Amino acid sequence: MTDLVLWGRASSANLQKARWALEETGAPFDLREVGGKFGGLDTPEFGAMNPNRLVPVLQHGDLTLWESHAVVRYVAAAFGGERFWPADPKARAIIDQWTDWTVTTFQPAWLRLFWLLVRTAPENHDKSAIDAALKQTVAALRMMDAQLEKTDYLAGDAFSYADIVAGVSLYRLTSMEIDLPSLPGVEAWHGRLKERASFEKSVCISYEELRARSVP
């Protein structure tokens, strides 16, 4: 029995951030699947937990928390020690910098590409929109690559919260039908993340249930 409950569907990128952070700490938690094919976001009970009606939501005793990054930071503070969110202000500032950049620049680009390619039926694919989203995604990946040629992880030589927030993109980016340029720094970083059981368990998850099908 645990009083730590994570609500959301395993195929959600935002849920994956929270799940990965929890797995990193080893804190026992229950995953209760809601959202997507599981439904349940429109009930009064879910609305009382999260008026935004999105996943993830974390419950820990009397705390109910939504917004994936707030959840990751809470998990880090409550269970992580300094494992992926150190207290040192300068180290934390660089982690926050890469995290904020991911949320404002990298994530909108790769998620748009994912929506255009996977969540839109093939007959409705918009080639020019796909090309534009791919260009933005590659520009962001090149920025990450330049950093990852210098350091093992995004915010330095230690794994951090920034790697969780950016790393949830990797399974999708490498399994979508796109041509990515050679990015040795990003590829080496992906290899390092794959060595973490928490990454494999939380992120390397089929998204086929999200794929838009052609209408026969």
Closer by beta carbon to ligand GSH, 50 or else 137: 50
Size of the site for ligand GSH (CB under 6 A): 12
Q: Does 168 bind ligand GSH (CB under 6 A)?
A: no
Footprint (CB under 6 A) of ligand GSH, residues 39-58: 41, 54-56
* Closest separation in Å from C-beta 195 to ligand GSH: 25
- Paired with 5 in beta bridges are 30, 59
* Closest separation in Å from C-beta 67 to ligand GSH: 5
Q: Does 36 bind ligand GSH (CB under 6 A)?
A: yes
Closer by beta carbon to ligand GSH, 36 or else 156: 36
* Closest separation in Å from C-beta 154 to ligand GSH: 18
Among 4, 6, 10, 13, binds ligand GSH (CB under 6 A): 13
Closer by beta carbon to ligand GSH, 84 or else 185: 84
Residue nearest ligand GSH by beta-carbon distance: 35
| Whole-angstrom distance, CA of residue 148 vs CA of residue 53 | 36
CA 171 to chain centre: 10
Among 14, 99, 102, 169, binds ligand GSH (CB under 6 A): 14
* Residue reference for tokens 């590659």: 138
- 118: DSSP letter: T
Site string for ligand GSH, 82-121 (x = CB under 6 A): ----------------------------------------
| Whole-angstrom distance, CA of residue 153 vs CA of residue 138 | 18
Tokens at residue 84, please?
A: 């992926």
Among 10, 60, 68, 95, binds ligand GSH (CB under 6 A): 68
Q: What crossing angle do the helices spanning 184-194 and 127-148 adopt, rounded to 10°? A: 80
Q: At 20, phi and psi to the nearest 5?
A: -60, -45
- Exposed e or buried b per residue across 65-91, where buried means at least 16 C-beta atoms within 10 angstroms of its C-beta: bbbbbebbbbbbeebbeebbbbeeeeb
- CB-CB neighbours of 156 under 10 Å: 17
| Contact residues: ligand GSH, CB under 6 A | 9, 12-14, 35-36, 41, 54-56, 67-68
